[in-house]
A and B are shown apart, each in its own frame.
Chain A
């Protein structure tokens, strides 16, 4: 069926859009990570700019606000010498779908080469990718609770930097899996790269139905799930989850699922702690862990630039 064709790859099997980690071959993930490696060096130089995307126009179109993610995409584009325009598109509640495609059509008329899109609805970047001119590339910067592929990539990039090899790792993702696009991207990235044991840990209310079908082991006890892990990813718990029937309170959540130094001690001694940010200290993570020596949360941010540069450069065909 037409709808099932892999939208992300062109007829030569090369990356054309980055919409999701799911369905991407390992080769492509590794190429992005290797390319990002070369950009880490660029970012550490005094002159942090390379001319790979000179003359290209990249439009950041954020239907859902996010200063941090948008900024890292802007920095990545600028370091590649692209022209960057960032738009915070206020979401029209009346003519949602229409406004997405209208917005994109308008921006296309300004000769965009690449769209970086964030939207509150799962799948929105697919709709856009299906409606842009064939030469235009789309990067998903987070769609609903579906995927956040560049975050997943920077997470695995960070893990690779610290752990070198995926083939003997045990990784745990902790918290609100249900609403997390980061979790989904990271799960697909890690399973594709060959991590033998991947765990998700959370209360049943925050675990998606049949999540084990994605190749993960499900734990509802943080203590049991953390035993012997090499990598812990803590997910942000949004405040709105505390109302209603998902969770009673932030403090009760922290008592069960908050990562404290005592609980982290159950993991391997050299375990690293990731968090996609922004953190809720005292809700999902204790400051002593967030700022502790096992935390790689700030390096994640740094590597995020290199990974996004790599994705943009590969999509634009600038690395061949």
Chain B
């Protein structure tokens, strides 16, 4: 299929390109930008006048459960996302190469967003017996993770680092001390004290970061810390990077907009993991994104069935559906925190792809054609019905958010087109 995207503002954060231009796509690749290739004739013309033409979004945290892959990939491309990193807490857990093969096969059959699986670091995510990392890597896992499951045994974590370092694999780790976070559902502070909710203290995160970075000090391993939530955590990662550790990190977009106060009257849509923290934490996270301490902004897309959220706050399942909102929430952040549009897009495209070591996130000629065409000035009203994901659980229900995706191209296929 040959696609021409005409007259849009082409922004490629990976190269600094930001100009009105035409983009030509053929054979799944970016064929040309500016003048058309020789003998050009398009099967499909996209009029992008007044629109932004950006790399397809790269979302480093999209949880997919059994039977929901097609729906959630449809949600991803509706949100302009063309690459997702999928943590291993699928059902079943991605701890065997066959399961990874199956996931990739099913994903390919959708001709939708690219799926980059993280393999389970330990069997059944149990935190003890290492999974077959080499075999999983050969099956296509781009790194290894416990997802949100704990790794309580510090020696097991140390050994996992050594083994991963042997083969150059990256560990994707949550920074949350199991015992300090156990039973908690909200940030340990004034709001949890008022509401009588079990708290998760900030030091549940910082103790865990210290554990990871101290172990890394003696092991030449690459680690990616997922979903940072505290001001002190940002500073610790900044320091660890300055010491030369091979460390990258990300933050959930929710943490950049919301704080503990937003829980209001026990609204379970605001039950997230890690929990929403203070305004001071949010500000530090934004600055961490700005100075590159935090490499990427992720949606932490976690669709939940209605009944999992229709429960008292502490008993509700944590997480929010978000892959469709990542672009809009990033644009909103660009407004409120004064990021330029290219800088804001970098957090969810080029910077994310680089942190994960995966392709995508740019618009270079010859690269795989993953493109998101969106109207940055249009607003959308977020309702349950407006979300394509099976999960309707988001704190942003009822919001008016900027950014409407008009077309998403994944590997040269028109994967989504907005019908007005």
> Which residues of A approach B to under 8 Å, CB–CB?
1-4, 7, 22, 95-98, 100-101, 119, 121-124, 126-127, 143-147, 181, 184, 208-211, 213-214
Question: Interface size on B (CB < 8 Å)?
Answer: 30
Additional A-B contacts beyond A121-B315, A124-B312, A143-B312 (9; CB < 8 A)? A1-B398, A7-B265, A97-B312, A123-B197, A123-B312, A143-B196, A184-B196, A209-B188, A209-B190
Are the CB atoms of A98 and B310 closer together than 8 Å? yes
The distance from the CB of A240 to the nearest CB of chain B, in whole angstroms, is 13
Are the CB atoms of B193 and A97 closer together than 8 Å? no
Residues in A neighbouring B267, C-beta threshold 8 A: 3
Are the CB atoms of A122 and B197 closer together than 8 Å? yes
Given known pairs A3-B264, A209-B188, A209-B201, the reply for A97 and B311 (CB within 8 Å) is: yes
Please report which residues of chain B, range 228-283, place their CB below 8 angstroms from some CB of chain A when the two chains form the complex: 262-268, 270
Are the CB atoms of B314 and A121 closer together than 8 Å? yes
Are the CB atoms of A97 and B310 closer together than 8 Å? yes
Indicate with 1 or 0, residue by residue over B185-202, a CB within 8 angstroms of chain A CB atoms.
Answer: 000111011111101010
Are the CB atoms of B195 and A146 closer together than 8 Å? yes
Bound CA span A240–B188, Å: 21
Are the CB atoms of B264 and A1 closer together than 8 Å? yes
Bound CA span A7–B316, Å: 20
Choose one: A97, A122, A127, A214; the contact of B308 (CB below 8 Å): A97
The distance from the CB of B39 to the nearest CB of chain A, in whole angstroms, is 56
Residues in A neighbouring B270, C-beta threshold 8 A: 3
Bound CA span A127–B306, Å: 13
Name the 6 nearest CB pairs between A and B, nearest first: A97-B311, A123-B266, A146-B196, A121-B312, A3-B264, A208-B193
Choose one: B201, B262, B264, B314; the contact of A122 (CB below 8 Å): B314
Are the CB atoms of A213 and B190 closer together than 8 Å? yes
Answer whether residue B307 sits at the interface, using C-beta atoms and an 8 A cutoff: yes
Are the CB atoms of B194 and A96 closer together than 8 Å? no
Answer whether residue B24 sits at the interface, using C-beta atoms and an 8 A cutoff: no
The distance from the CB of B193 to the nearest CB of chain A, in whole angstroms, is 4
Choose one: A2, A98, A123, A145; the contact of B307 (CB below 8 Å): A98
Closest Cβ neighbor of A19 among chain B residues: B265
Residues in A neighbouring B308, C-beta threshold 8 A: 97
Residues in A neighbouring B144, C-beta threshold 8 A: none
Are the CB atoms of B315 and A96 closer together than 8 Å? yes
Residues in B neighbouring A95, C-beta threshold 8 A: 307
Closest Cβ neighbor of A181 among chain B residues: B196
Are the CB atoms of B310 and A127 closer together than 8 Å? yes
Are the CB atoms of B310 and A101 closer together than 8 Å? yes
